[in-house]
Amino acid sequence: MTDIPFGAHSRRKSKYAARSVPGEKLATSAMIASLDAEGRATIAAPFGQALCELAATRDDIVGLSADLSKYTDMHVFAERYPDRFYQMGMAEQLLFSAAAGLAREGFTPFATTYAVFASRRAYDFICMAIAEENLPVKIACALPGLTTGYGPSHQATEDLAIFRGMPNLTIVDPCDAVETMQATHALAATPGPTYMRLLRGNVPDVLGEYGYQFELGRAKTLRDGNDVLFISSGFMTMRTLDAAKALEADGVDCAVLHVPTIKPLDEATIRLEAAKTGRLIVTAENHSIIGGLGEAVGASLMRAGVQARFRQIALPDEFLDAGALPTLHDQYGLSVPRITTRVKEWLDE
């Protein structure tokens, strides 16, 4: 191990320290933060809606919650199908064990909670009771990455790093409401366990204008360009599309490759796009810089011998601050202005 200078493990800066972008102080938006709702059409509770559509045609669909149905859009299903909904109480280890038991008896359980509680608290139960036996339990978890300003207790900045190591588990990080609905149907149709990062509440409709259709395990080029290739997942694809438009005004031509399935990763498409010479490759994800999409893409390109300039937009390896979501996205580099600024700096290097 290399020497670590004394004091290198510095504490997080005071919450009273100056922000990188001075200005109006926003209220912490707690658990019900919206993503870019202003000026964009939204769809209410897309996951809950899709689950009800599924249940209308499949008797095997059941829903479970650990006291967070209202915050995972499971309440929509619980109200429509009360006899097919199981309230398991504030007990996440039980939530996933019981889902495994229901799956053993032929049902397809959708189990929902916050991403922090599934990944940090119930990992062993998901791993042994569900994944090792390849049971069709569908896990959908709200507040992935930095989607709440509530603080580290509710910010699942490392859920992908945790779950990518779990064999058999399919992992999906949808961009918007359209994809959330499509992915819910696709995941229900696939055998085996799945984990979906859930955008809940009023979720923007972004991909509608691209005529997009989710396909499990497939990355899709949403926009072509000669200077920069964004490789992004989750709501960061919303941000890279906006950044591409902003950069276009400055004469920078950006492509966007959307990668909603984190595992299994569509390495063929990623390598094909990355091998086109001359482009700066920028991965963008709503996750820690450790163990998420960026490192998965980087390792894949190295294994394939693809040479390219490579940069990552991701959350730092820190416990994040509490605050208002727009403030935090700006502070940690996920906002459109921060993306465009950094890309221009990288192009000038």
Binding site for other proteins (CB under 8 A): 62, 86, 88-89, 91, 93-94, 96-107, 109, 124-125, 128-129, 132-133
CB of 85 to other proteins, least distance (A): 11
Smaller CB separation from other proteins, 97 or 335: 97
CB of 168 to other proteins, least distance (A): 11
Identity of residue 51: L
Smaller CB separation from other proteins, 110 or 235: 110
Smaller CB separation from other proteins, 124 or 345: 124
Identity of residue 221: T
- Rounded CA-CA distance 193/167 in Å is 10
CA angle 335–339–342, rounded 5-degree value = 140
CB of 193 to other proteins, least distance (A): 14
Smaller CB separation from other proteins, 103 or 196: 103
- Rounded CA-CA distance 102/84 in Å is 11
Handedness of CA 268, 269, 271, 277 (dihedral sign): positive
CA angle 328–332–333, rounded 5-degree value = 115
- Rounded CA-CA distance 65/51 in Å is 14
Smaller CB separation from other proteins, 103 or 265: 103
Look at residues 87, 146, 56, 77 and name the one whose alpha carbon lies nearest to residue 334. 146
Smaller CB separation from other proteins, 93 or 269: 93
**How many angstroms separate the Cα of 263 from the Cα of each of 137, 188, 267?**
16, 16, 10
CB of 124 to other proteins, least distance (A): 6
Smaller CB separation from other proteins, 130 or 284: 130
- DSSP characters for 217-274? T--EEEE--SSEEEEE-TTHHHHHHHHHHHHHHTT--EEEEE--EEES--HHHHHHHH
CB of 75 to other proteins, least distance (A): 19
CB of 83 to other proteins, least distance (A): 9
Are 118 and 72 spatial neighbours (Cβ–Cβ below 8 Å)?
no
CB of 253 to other proteins, least distance (A): 51
